Structure 1
């Protein structure tokens, strides 16, 4: 096998697996895939939530008086050495700069802001000479309180009222952590508002030397090799080292340089994403680990590692550095190459992303306020530190002379490493949000079938036969993944379901409401199909909201006599079933059974009619 062919096979494999894993999530864009949850985050990717040890938020308001309106106060307290940007933080000529603090109150409340928020404590001020040269940086330390006048509706008693809102910003030391926190304000004493604001105090300049930056980056890169995210892939390199014992030093150096190039490629891409704002490539940069906040990427990585594990376990064969395509350890020497080493460097780095390790979090945060050259220098030094052991091993083969010579033992160890990779898959599953767990698991079964189908065709078979196996396997895996994500991931057009009960139906109908009840269960695939294709749809949701329809979900996943009795009253003993109770009590209940279409649901809603307004409902109730 030529070098070009080995390189092409491995590149095609990595691209195909990523595309296959991304396909279901791309197909589910209609299912609100624009907002992803992450249980991990890592580095700068994490930090969003209700509580932060670096900053805490409290709020209160004062009652209105004949001379003054009610006043809302929001206070932020920062940990020592941490600061947040002011609400009036400006930007440079290109729109760059620190993220200003933004305070909003929630809509739908019977209270409104009469003027923008202002700060009581003046921010410190300094001129930036590094990231946004010449820009004034306005920062609050220790504690800051903002205030704004508010007005309650005439029917609201402030003593019993509350104001809900949120504050969005970032808290920084040497690193910056974005936060988006909610607050609930109650009636209180408020804070004295000074007649004359305090003088602006210059802030201390914090800096770090480039040598310290590079040294910490190299050390952090070395530590990444010991992180649990990376250890499974280290076994791959051990096989490569074992091979290198009988080869020339030049060949060994070439392989390890290719592996290092793969590592550094990913780090340079991440550096570009991180420095996107300063380079004018995007509206915001991407921190280390933030890529793992994207569900599509996590699903793709899970799929890739799972496929690698199946290869190690003999389900199929893939040209990975140090392994044969025929399962024979004696063929190992002819199957390795710079192309495979390059892509193994890429895979190793991607797996290392969630394991930032010591030193890296603050360093990556430091790059937020630094020019692009510092960002690239930091990412390069971390990549160099991560690749350093392999460069030394390539330059000095004696350093790995303790490894045994290639032989049959490598096949056994390869199988054991397959189980280690499966453990990595379990870990990657833990990073997924609950609603993506089941469809991703289904995608893994599709990939399993695809790998099994491909593995049934021997490597010496005709190209046409091998392409046919790849085509069918990819098609089946894609179909399984797309179907699983469509049926199980909640749609952004999901109706506002409330739990079903006969009492809920009776109360809603007494109020003149049209009521839609969907009888379903988690074990009912047809029910899932109806939800995805006929019920949780844009047109249906618009009609339900326009007609003020009450939607109730009758869940029959577990034994439930209430649901069973309701089905019996509708002359049914099976699901799926949809019942629409018209607002007019004189009309019959509309029942849709088994597989239904969106047009059937829309027609039934139109026949049932909208909910009655309260006055009409009251008259109808009196007539009854």
Structure 2
């Protein structure tokens, strides 16, 4: 009966039903079927109607939301329509979460309906409406497959519009799957490395999580906070690694326990700023920054520049397993040494900045003399662990017969040394915390550095004050002598690394002088060790002191600086960075990768080896015609320091990718082999 009615309408309208259809029919693609469906099979001038892009992916496969999360691409539609006919944006359903640790993606699994509103102008005079659309989508499971398809649909145009009854259910499904738009709005602020939002007037619903529609604002895989305070919903989530700024207004989708979405618009708070500059007005902001600082300090213990020195403390703990009181005393003195060293570095850094110097985290290793002194110190400590001399017993606290006073001093200075050699490393979470600290009043800045120190000392405090952990440590015994000698080798390697940094700073001739000084240090340790065994005469200690003074003197002499970075740049796949060079490339609409690095930055060197200097990354740079600029902060450079401050960073590494027509992207501090390639692929599709 319905068919006869429709046929009779077509006859009355003078239209042949075989020429028109409300759907394009299914187009098969890899792991997905797609069709374009019209709400009406006959339209009239001045009408609006819904068009539905209908996806049915294979089981376990999914497509993406407008904000795809950590990876992926949203579906896009390029409409080709007659003059005057317009199509609105995609009306996105409430998305789902797809966790692929450590990533979190947003999209749609199962049947998906993406609606778009089509408007026919009132003066449309043609008898048919030709609709064409080129659609791009990405369908993923463990692998992702980009697909494109073209859809063509022809609808009759007449004085009376006729609904396609077979399409009604699909259109309604698309409408129901969209989030309910609530007539409320909230305010948000960017503070302490997190997005914080407050929304009033929400219905009495138990919201479980939320989606931020704006891309690269929040860290999608990070835990969310949703709580109600005095009738107001508070939403919090850490910022995205690539965060550079947030729009004045954007949408969040709150999701209830039943899976229903609710759309709310967020406006930037009147006393906030939609930028990456952390706010400092609220107590929660400060606590979040302190937590980030403590986490960064804790992770520093695992960084390669710190781990060798921690072998000294490991030996101390192993030697005191029988005395809980001694362990706690050592842990407290070690923590005091760490915290006070961080505070001292902060005071020097803030004083130099207030005097106009452009310095940042790790600034002390920009001094070749200090690098040489640290190389000598670690070399001498290694010789002590190898048994050549015993001057380090008080420092390393390995003897069980030492008094508590000596043990405290040893633990304290081990903490000092750990902080000094930690400065070349920037652990995750540290970048944001340090960038926050240097923009705050001195007392707040010092508080952040104290949190860094407490985080770094935390493992040893836990060992000392948690008996169950302490009991897991082995008992003292003869094995300790062997362990002591083995632990010398990480110190030797650290000394080699510092010698290499020294050579990169001041040239190969200066490195030869440094190595001669190392021989003098070895001779001084040998003379001191001989005197310790006999305790007779005074000539050997005097000669030992003179040799140490000589070693320090020769490396403090003025030496010509040789820039090996510039000398080799022509043979590399990168060019030297300068503000002028970057500005020229941006003015020419060239994609640019900027790498701010330093030879004393272990994290930087590892990233270059595993992620930037690989054949895969070189090929990606060449494929997308990206100019790779490298800034060398090994020695103080005011231009690089100013550039770091533009991105709220106080140290290296910093990786910034500029793509024409897109905001600058700050890449993660820890790069994977695929980070650069995947980022370039994503930007090239936008």
TM-score, normalised to structure 2, is 0.39
Higher relative contact order at CA 8 Å, sep ≥6: structure 1 or structure 2? 1
Normalized per residue, the structure richer in strand is 2
Who wins on radius of gyration, i.e. which is larger? 2
TM-score, normalised to structure 1, is 0.42
Normalized per residue, the structure richer in helix is 1
